[in-house]
Structure 1
Amino acid sequence: MESLQQLFGRFLALPQESQNKLESILTEKTLQKGELWIQEGEICDKIGFIERGLMRSFYYKDKKDITISFSTKGEFISSMSSFISRMPSYESAEALEICQVIEFQYDQLMPLLIEDRHVAYLYQRILEQNYIELEEHLIFSKFKSAKERYLELMETKPYIIHKASVGQIASYLDMSLETLSRIRATI
């Protein structure tokens, strides 16, 4: 849980009492490679903090697997739209390797947000960070060429290149396998 402590410090100086309250509601889960953590069509009742490993979020469109995002150590993962709206998730999340995830359950977290303003502020900061990442990914996918997207992925998240399948990477970068192969051949 050392990286979780670092996370608290990254967003704000969370008082020890608030940290204790948060720690009292968390659970730790180990996921095996290929195991689903969030299932499409179910209401997402948790937010996860990845202590170890790599996960991806994806959905199916016309029987095709579309990768939305990759999340790794020190990052949060959830189907935020489902978590917030309490509607079924349109996405699934799976472990691409053995993962250690700290889970915060909706039913335990929501009362704590009302009770503790420091935890509420931390939650707000996490939501803000999630929004920023979504916006950056939108810009990343819409305003850069296919080659620029691949080069940026290599520079900013090289572990994905080594852990995810070529199909997952192509889907995440919003390009065909053929385009990705051509780009990789020129690098």
Structure 2
Amino acid sequence: MRRILLALLLVPLLAHAEPRETDWLELMPREDQLALEAMPEISHETPESAGTFGQQGGLKQQKSDLPAVMYSSKTVAHLNGKTVRLGGYPVPLESDAEGRSTLFFLVPYPGACIHVPPPPPNQIVLVRYPQGILLEDIYAPLWVEGPLQVETVSNDLADAAYALKASSVRVVEEADL
């Protein structure tokens, strides 16, 4: 009887616990993970790295000779609707009147909007955060929490295979590491 009472008392506490951290590779089906592991080294030498910006920038894939996994929009169905905690870097898209980012892409590594190749669509998450967050440094990593949706999003900047309506967004702090 004590165990039942203790379990009933813990249920509200567990309901408010932070979601488990989701690794970016969990957003890829296993066959994409294996293809990524088998992929040859990719050069990051681009006009952007040389200081010239003759090509269109952004997160969209520019080269057509990359392995198919670098264009993959394949998703993991059981993640649809699951509340996740995902760490990543913002690529701002929209902000409110106070300058807080309310819509941004979250990507697994910093500077993804200027590096080639950018992440594949199943490694880009569109984050909707109506409260907004002031992004003082886009190279500062963020924790984003909320329900993840399998949703294809395409604009001039990127193609994403997931979207998330964030319940919480905050900068990663030293104590988190």
TM-score w.r.t. the length of structure 1 is: 0.24
- Structure with bigger helix share is 1
Normalising by structure 2, we get a TM-score of 0.25
Q: Point out the structure with the larger strand share.
A: 2
Structure with larger Rg: 2
